[in-house]
Structure 1
């Protein structure tokens, strides 16, 4: 069992699923969803980025991201501005900044609970291992 790659993949997916459900539920209390908060977070990290860049950063198709950012713009959380050529740049509005900040507080609480069974050393090791698996280290 310890070397079973399918069991390992399933355990990673299960942990991710549990986190996503907990985050989505908790983020509803601050008026957003996990997908919306993730999009706000990506825009905050890369102000002025295109939909293509932001879709890649949020693991979505361009079409799905376009639909999502349209809803965010309708809620006055995101501002879309013309860039060079046909490029549309994305920026957070002050309301978007407030929702993002509230989401950060919620995410910190939820993820602290999700990883509470691990010691600080265990969490550091898990992060190192996942970064290595993702080609980051």
Structure 2
């Protein structure tokens, strides 16, 4: 007689599939976490953090962007980005300027641009080391697959 708590083969297959998906999601997060830790450690040697350098990178790529746009780009809340931007202003790495209407624009200062440029080799070294075991075709395929996932809306 079957136990009332026994699962059938379809349920077992669903659990196994869910387990594989969870393992995939976890592996992606582990790679990201490892990258962040290694880049953050390297950036400390040049006097910044990953969060600060990422904000500089976002401003460098989008000069004149609003705090909200930069918060979205750097995966932060508006409040968290505002606090970070204030810290970068005090360090002389960015400045805010009035934009159209009530918009406040963010720009790199010369020291901010220098910090940004100094951080690129740190980031590139970590990424190069991380992906060194993948050939060019494998890296291209991985990027393609991840972009496919990102382009698909959730829900």
- TM-score, length of structure 1 as denominator length: 0.94
Structure 2: distance between partners of 1:121 and 1:19: 21
Q: Distance in 2 between matches of 1:108 and 1:15?
A: 15
**SS at structure 1 position matched to 2:151:** coil
Task: Provide Cα deviations, 1:91-122, integer angstroms capped at 9, x if missing partner.
Answer: 00000000000111111111101111212221
**Which structure has the larger Rg?**
2
1:11 to 27, 51, 69: 27
Per-residue Cα deviation, 1:13-67 (whole angstroms, up to 9, x for no partner): 0000000000100111111111111100110111111001100111100000000
Counterpart in 1 of 2:94? 78
Deviation of 1:85 after TM superposition, in Å, equals 2.2
What secondary structure, in the 3-state scheme, does the structure 2 residue paired with 1:90 have?
A: strand
Give the unaligned 5+ runs of structure 2: 1-15
Q: Displacement of 1:5 after TM fit?
A: 1.0
CA distance in 1, matches of 2:40, 2:48: 8
TM-score normalized with structure 2 length: 0.84
1:42 to 44, 54, 58: 58
Segments of 4+ moved more than 4 angstroms: none
2:128 to 109, 112, 115: 112
Which residue matches 1:127? 143
Instruction: Give the superposed CA RMSD.
Output: 1.4
Looking at both structures, which has the greater relative contact order when contacts are Cα pairs under 8 Å and sequence separation is at least 6?
1
Q: How many residues are matched? A: 136
